[in-house]
Amino acid sequence: MISIVSKPCKWQFIILFLFLSLNVHSTPANDSLWNVWTNEGLQDSVRLDALHSLAQEGFMQINPDSAFQLGSLKYDFALERGLQLQQSRALMVMGVARFNQGAYTDALDFYYRSLEISESIGDEHEATRALNNIGNIYVIQAQFDRAIRYLTRTLRMHERLGNRLGMASTLNNIGVIYLDQGDNEQALDAFSQCLAILEELEHTRGMASMLTNLAIVYENMGDLETAMEKQFESLRLEEKVEDRRAMALTLGNIGHLYRTMAVFDSATVFFERGLEIAEDIGDKVETSAALTNLARVYADQGQYQRSIDFAERSLVLAQQSGAIRETRNAAETLFNSYKQSGRAGEALEMHELFIQMRDSILNQENQREVLQQHFTYEMEKKEALAEAEQEKIRAVNREQIRRKNLQLNAFIGGLVLMSLLAGVFLVQRRRIGKEKQRSDNLLLNILPEETAEELKTNGYAESRYFDEVSVLFTDFVGFTKFSEKMSPGEVVEVIHDCFSIFDDIVTKYNVEKIKTIGDAYMAVAGLPTPNETHARDAVLAALEMQEAMNEYFEGRRQSGLPAMGVRIGVNTGPVVAGIVGKKKFQYDIWGDTVNTAARMESSSEMGKVNISESTFEKVESLFVCHYRGKIHAKNKGEIGMYFVEHRSIHAKLAAITT
């Protein structure tokens, strides 16, 4: 039941977005639009707009493949003319067409390409469309963390632009995530805000989608009567605007409600009507959902072989489309029907597939917890070994204390000896005090203060998981050639000077130095005490490091001395931190966030600060950044990267108050 409820909702919010984001307005007939496109005497922009309208409004819902071909034609023409905005819009049409065909991976690629172009030309209106659609794809793929990041960026951008229609679309999409996660109150609030905006704007298609989503929320809350009313009201609006794809979804929703009420004949009628439309428009994913719905209603009535026939057809389409939820639903239905039919082997196979798909959906949510548990387990093993060593040390200390007590008793036996020893004791006490202070200072040089205190108090320090920090790496460019021109002592002196400057800078911005590795320097903001400014602090430190190194090496150049440059990378995400080793132990951090930060540094350039998308999303309002696009990083594939050009006035003010 849950799967059927959430499924139509996801498709409805996508429909809402497509119509909100592509400037819906009335157009002439398709043949007239084609005549405008083929008229070479008209301006390029007029011809391309006509082709866009033909693809989006003439074919998108009834024949997505034709819409894709028209979008491709538009893209090639715009590329030849150097019209970047039109290229971005053409890629969006191609992505929407592929999405309507259930080809999510292809759609995502087109959306990212559209976003890259729109950001490069500074067109925020076009960028919001790409961001919103990317977020929607991640919802369908159950990658909710990514979805929220993209949709929140979209909502902020729409608010800044005063785009009410865009705000409605994004509020709907955020509501979908709440609905998928079972938070009905939050979903109801988001959908209600969205519907109010759409009613104010008299946007019929959007209103229909919102009514469907609200119906699903009411059903989840147990109010089936209100849910049915909302679904039929939505269907009337969809029939009014002849939106066949939306009609197929709503017919499935109504069928589901009848099935919930055990009115199987009516449920079958509405499921069959939805299936007919889904097949007619070539929507494989919705066809799969409709087939599963019919399979379930037949299973409810004990018609297991008929249920199996429909569910097997559904499974094939779902797997062809890469639709995880539809695969899960079909597998679950087949498991139940096979089991009831006495086909145990096939039932077991479907149960295993169901579990695999279910876990795939939950995997994104649980991934962070699994990472934390893994590192906790590893650190507990190390701490157990360390505890054994500590117990040996404590046994030795107890024996030493016993012996000192004996010595003290002997000391008390003679006043003269006591006086002499008192003098010695005072001298030793001063010496021990100085040595303790020196030891404490050395400890603080290699450990954060909080960790050092824990180590001194308990004899050990527990590893900790940090939900979000910002990791910084630096590396010298041209170090090998630089070192060849100088003696080893001179090289060490230069590195010492640079790292000392770095030490002062990270201290200034509350960034924790972790270690140096050769000519590389590693630091992290946001631990051992978590804070909300870690990304800002790390980027400010990185920029000041670059400024300091530019000044330092320019001074060397003016003096005729060898010089080099620095590249810096920053990434934001979760890490595990703790102490490793028994001899020359070291405070260190682990996790994929660290690896990605290292890739940000290696993909940077001399004199530049290169940050990841996760860091950019934390600091985009504070710094002027340049999007570099998707760049290949070793063992990571394509990663979005940004150069931080300089601080905005907001960041400068933040630095003053740090």
- Domains of the chain, by residue range, sit at 2-282, 391-446, 462-657
Cα 503 off chain centre by: 31
Q: In the 3-class helix/strand/coil scheme, how is 314-372 assigned residue by residue?
A: HHHHHHHHCCHHHHHHHHHHHHHHHHHCCCHHHHHHHHHHHHHHHHHHHHHHHHHHHHH
pLDDT under 50: residue ranges of the chain: 1-28, 364-390, 393, 401, 408, 410-429, 431-439, 441-444, 458-460, 583, 649-658
How far is Cα 250 from Cα 266, in angstroms, rounded to an integer? Answer: 14
How far is Cα 259 from Cα 439, in angstroms, rounded to an integer? Answer: 74
- Write down the architecture of domain 2-282 according to CATH: Alpha Horseshoe (1.25)
Dihedral of alpha carbons 17, 21, 22, 27, sign: positive
How far is Cα 414 from Cα 436, in angstroms, rounded to an integer? Answer: 30
Per-residue model confidence (pLDDT) at position 395: 55
Per-residue model confidence (pLDDT) at position 504: 92
Per-residue model confidence (pLDDT) at position 413: 47
Per-residue model confidence (pLDDT) at position 589: 85
Structure tokens, 265? 């004949």
Q: Which residue, among 78, 70, 72, has the nearest Cα to 34 in the 3D structure? A: 70
411-453 pLDDT per residue, tens: 444 444 444 444 444 444 454 444 444 445 444 455 555 555 5
Q: Which residue, among 101, 58, 93, 95, has the nearest Cα to 74 in the 3D structure? A: 93
Number of residues that this document lists for the chain: 658
Structure tokens, 335? 């498991």
Per-residue model confidence (pLDDT) at position 139: 78
How far is Cα 195 from Cα 230, in angstroms, rounded to an integer? Answer: 12
Cα 89 off chain centre by: 25
| Spatial CB neighbours of 628, under 8 Å, sequence gap ≥ 6 | 610, 640, 641, 642, 643
Per-residue model confidence (pLDDT) at position 489: 78
CATH, range 462-657 = 3.30.70.1230
Q: Which residue, among 226, 181, 249, has the nearest Cα to 16 in the 3D structure? A: 249
Structure tokens, 404? 């000192």
Per-residue model confidence (pLDDT) at position 335: 92
**What is the identity of the amino acid at 116?**
E
pTM score? 0.40
